[in-house]
Amino acid sequence: MTAKIIGKKGKKLTIEITVDLEDSMLGSEEAIQESVNKAGALASEEALKQFDTKGQPIEVKGKTLQSKGEEEKRYQTPYGEIKLSRHVYQYKGKGKTFCPLEYSARIIGTSTPQFSKQVSFKMAYNAARVVQKDLSECHQRDVSVAFLQNSSASVAEIVQKKEGAWHYALPKIKEEITTIAIGLDGTCMHLKKEGWREAMTGTISFYNAKTERQHTIYIGATPEYGKSCFFERFTREIEQVKARYPLVKYIGVADGAEVNWRFLAPYIETEVLDFFHASGYLGAVAKALHPRNGKKQREWLDIHCHQLKHESNAADHLYKEMLKAQKEAAGLSKVIKEKLDKTVTYYKNHKHQMDYAGYASKKYPIGSGVTEAACKTLIKQRLCLSGMRWKDAGATCILNLRALNLTTERWHQFWRKINQFGIGPIPAL
């Protein structure tokens, strides 16, 4: 099995591939893939050479740099490792070096852009050892776990550094957007030195006049005392959306955590307490009213959950019924009393956010299911697999990659921006 270049004219490269077919189809397919990879590596090497200089002096940031000569380096591509001699430059023969080929070809670490893209995409969804097996079994690419971790971390670092500078365009939405719901929630993940702590998710969801969700922006953050970095990043996303959609209705949909509502207040017109949190508290009232009759508890719950969702002022009526139950709670167990008291307090603090009949008439969403689901898809499904414990840097890396992937079109926009603008400024020399 061989692959060799037999011609090159301008940008056109001709490669001859010889494949030794096997007696089995599987064997033949493996041979074909091996040959195609060899051809891909050859083509990648030639493609990279386009970005090198001929060794002439170059000017960078007002300084004239001289080539130190050609130095050999290994690069990782989707098809295999290649060795390439390329010019490395230095100012007056000392200090930091600069490689024009790596800068112009958008090399990330030691990987070509396409291989960086493939590795970071796979790492966003699977553990490093799973990705290692995937590349070996499906692509005949054998790389180390350390390489996969470092490569994806390099991409995630670019995501983070460019977060404030690169604005991502919203997808083309055919439906007219009438409501934008902003939600945030937390879920626990295991940090190596601190144990279980709360990571955060934020969502910005776009709805049409039929309350059909058209698009969602996702943001995630590792555990952080005070959550200031998360709030800063989320604020930036919200302000960009409000600049694009200044006239639609903005609502907040969240659970009862006070910190959530303090953050949301400046950006929304209407507060909507998640219906499933509100209705979930009613079980305590049903038990207080019918402590020994499960059938009556279920009947009471069905009736009053329906009223809460569909009738005006239902939350106020329920609150009054709870107060009455509190006064008549003398014969109840301590546990039931405590749960009833907790429910009374909850409704006292949040009944102004429970006008579900009114929200429905305005076609507002009433559930925080999008944000609850984000806790699972953004954090739990990747960061909380069996036995996983994270350092903050590693978890931040994965969250950056996953949020970019989950938000429609952002992943491709990110790589187009790398292709257009590069991965960063030329380093100080």
Would you kindly state where each structural domain of the chain is located, as residue ranges? 1-50, 179-274+367-406, 277-353
What is the per-residue pLDDT for 385?
87
- Selection from 260, 358, 276 nearest residue 313 by Cα: 358
Asked whether the beta carbons of 34 and 1 are under 8 A apart, the reply is: yes
| 333 to 196, 291, 322, 339: CA distances (angstroms) | 33, 9, 16, 10
Which residues, 6 or more positions from 398, have their beta carbon under 8 angstroms from its beta carbon? Answer: 123, 124, 152, 156, 382, 383
Asked whether the beta carbons of 364 and 249 are under 8 A apart, the reply is: yes
What is the per-residue pLDDT for 109?
94
The count of C-alpha atoms lying within 13 angstroms of the C-alpha of 187, restricted to the half-sphere facing its C-beta, is 18
Q: Kindly tell me the sign of the dihedral angle through the C-alpha atoms of 223, 225, 229, 235.
A: positive
What is the bridge-based pairing of β-strands 249-254 and 270-273?
A: parallel
| Residue 35 in tokens | 């040959």
Report the alpha-carbon distance of residue 119 to residue 222 in Å, rounded.
22
DSSP string computed for 329-344: -TTS-HHHHHHHHHHH
Report the alpha-carbon distance of residue 19 to residue 31 in Å, rounded.
6
Q: What would the pLDDT profile of 382-407 be if each residue is shown by its tens digit?
A: 999 888 999 999 999 999 999 999 99
Rg, Å, the chain Cα set: 29
- Topology of 179-274+367-406 in CATH? Nucleotidyltransferase; domain 5 (3.30.420)
Report the alpha-carbon distance of residue 251 to residue 249 in Å, rounded.
6
Q: What percent of the chain has pLDDT over 70?
A: 100
| 200 to 126, 344, 394: CA distances (angstroms) | 20, 28, 16
What is the per-residue pLDDT for 316?
95
Report the alpha-carbon distance of residue 226 to residue 223 in Å, rounded.
9
What is the per-residue pLDDT for 429?
65
DSSP summary character for residue 209: T
Asked whether the beta carbons of 78 and 112 are under 8 A apart, the reply is: yes
DSSP summary character for residue 265: G
What is the per-residue pLDDT for 330?
76
Please give the model's pTM, rounded to 2 decimal places.
0.90
Report the alpha-carbon distance of residue 41 to residue 43 in Å, rounded.
5
Which residues, 6 or more positions from 71, have their beta carbon under 8 angstroms from its beta carbon? Answer: 85, 86, 87, 88
Residue 84 identity (one-letter amino acid): L
Sequence-separated contacts (24+) of 240-247 with Cβ below 8 Å: 240/167, 241/170, 241/180, 241/204, 241/217, 242/267, 244/170, 245/177, 245/180, 245/206
Report the alpha-carbon distance of residue 296 to residue 331 in Å, rounded.
18
Q: Is 16 left (phi over 0), alpha (psi -120 to 50) or beta?
A: beta
Asked whether the beta carbons of 267 and 248 are under 8 A apart, the reply is: no
Over its length of 429 residues, how does the chain's per-residue pLDDT go in tens digits?
Answer: 789 999 999 899 999 999 999 999 999 999 999 999 999 999 999 999 999 999 999 998 889 999 999 999 999 999 999 999 999 999 988 888 999 999 999 999 999 999 999 999 999 999 999 999 999 999 999 999 999 999 999 999 999 999 888 999 999 999 999 999 999 999 999 999 899 999 999 999 999 999 999 999 999 999 999 899 999 999 999 999 999 999 999 999 999 999 999 999 999 999 999 999 999 999 999 999 998 899 999 999 999 999 999 999 999 999 999 998 888 877 789 999 999 999 999 999 999 999 999 999 999 999 999 999 999 999 999 999 888 999 999 999 999 999 999 999 999 999 999 999 998 877 766
- Please give the mean pLDDT across all residues of the chain: 94
Residue 89 identity (one-letter amino acid): Y
Report the alpha-carbon distance of residue 363 to residue 170 in Å, rounded.
22
The count of C-alpha atoms lying within 13 angstroms of the C-alpha of 6, restricted to the half-sphere facing its C-beta, is 7
